[in-house]
Amino acid sequence: MANQLPETQQLRQRRLPAAQLTFEAYWLVSRHPLAYAGQVVALAALAIVAQAFVSILVDGFTADVGPPWRPVAEVATYAGTAVTILLLGGTAIFVSCQRAIVLGQPPALRDALRLRRSDFPVLRALCVYWLIVHLVPTLVAQTNNLAQSLPLDWFPQSPYVIVNFAFYWGWVLAAAPLVVLSLPIVLFEAAAAPLAEARRRLDGNGGRLLAASGIALAPLGGMEVAMYELQQGGWVPFDPAQDPLGLLNFLFFSAVQNLTSFSIILLMSALVAAAYLRLSPRFEPIYRVFD
């Protein structure tokens, strides 16, 4: 891939201001509210349709299958569908957001619904990122879900949403700074070893990037925890008498979950772009909006 950025001389390493970086991420997203909202809503709607379709198929094919295989099939297929959608849709949102912030290309709704051939290296890099950052906490979270319906005595199950959430995002936030800068490097540069280049360029800013990510995640993360707590507590927005099949409640919780997930991806994409601009010598002389 050809390098898309103008070269400049190497500059001294800068320290990332965590709180300021978070503000920049929200500000950058707010510059195109309609386009980004359309992307998030469109991808959330596609995710709901795909998850509902897969759930119907699994229920049909496992109707005569008892435990432990039915719960395993349900958790595995639902998680696999969710991860696939998040990877494909997340790549589209990430590329659109990065190009808007770094290259000044206005985002559009259609950006979230297509992947061009030139985006495939980013998709591969995002798959590597997911394996490094999200695989372990995802396996733990799904095993915890499975332990609610199967006697997994060997697994230290936690019934508390806040504990599960803290473990998942604590792991992700700690691991992500080590590799996340490789994503814009793959998109914009021709680095032979993007992971090594990402770690070299981060150089002492891992803790600051972790802090910025944690601050940025807090509002959406708090909303996600609250929704899971309500769901586990038995609260439903639609009365069971009006929704005997549970379809409306399924759609509601699925919509909230997917909207939150894609909103987090969008916000973190903007934060990564802001960090990339500050830590890339080719941009340092021109990206001084908040300094």
Whether 290 maps to a domain, the answer reads no
Range of the domain at 259: 31-279
pTM of the model: 0.86
Pick the closest to residue 160 from 233, 106, 94, 216 (CA basis).
233
E strand map for 107-177: none
Whether 11 maps to a domain, the answer reads no
Whether 171 maps to a domain, the answer reads yes
| pLDDT of residue 66 exceeding 90 | no
Cα dihedral 248, 249, 250, 253, rounded to 10, equals 120
Whether 100 maps to a domain, the answer reads yes
Pick the closest to residue 132 from 84, 69, 97, 182 (CA basis).
182
Whether 1 maps to a domain, the answer reads no
**pLDDT tier for residue 127 given thresholds of 50, 70 and 90:** very high
| pLDDT of residue 106 exceeding 80 | yes
Q: How many domains does the chain have?
A: 1
Neighbouring C-beta atoms of residue 8, cutoff 10 Å: 13
Token pair in block for residue 157: 């199950």
Pick the closest to residue 6 from 75, 103, 118 (CA basis).
103
Greater confidence, 9 or 139?
139
Q: Are 122 and 186 in contact (CB under 8 A)?
A: yes
pLDDT tens-digit map of 10-40: 445 578 899 999 999 999 999 999 999 999 9
At 283 the pLDDT is 53
Residue type, 222: G
Q: Are 225 and 200 in contact (CB under 8 A)?
A: no
**Residue 269: in which H helix or E strand, if any?**
helix 247-279
Whether 13 maps to a domain, the answer reads no
pLDDT tens-digit map of 216-273: 999 999 888 888 888 777 787 877 777 776 777 778 888 999 999 999 999 999 999 9
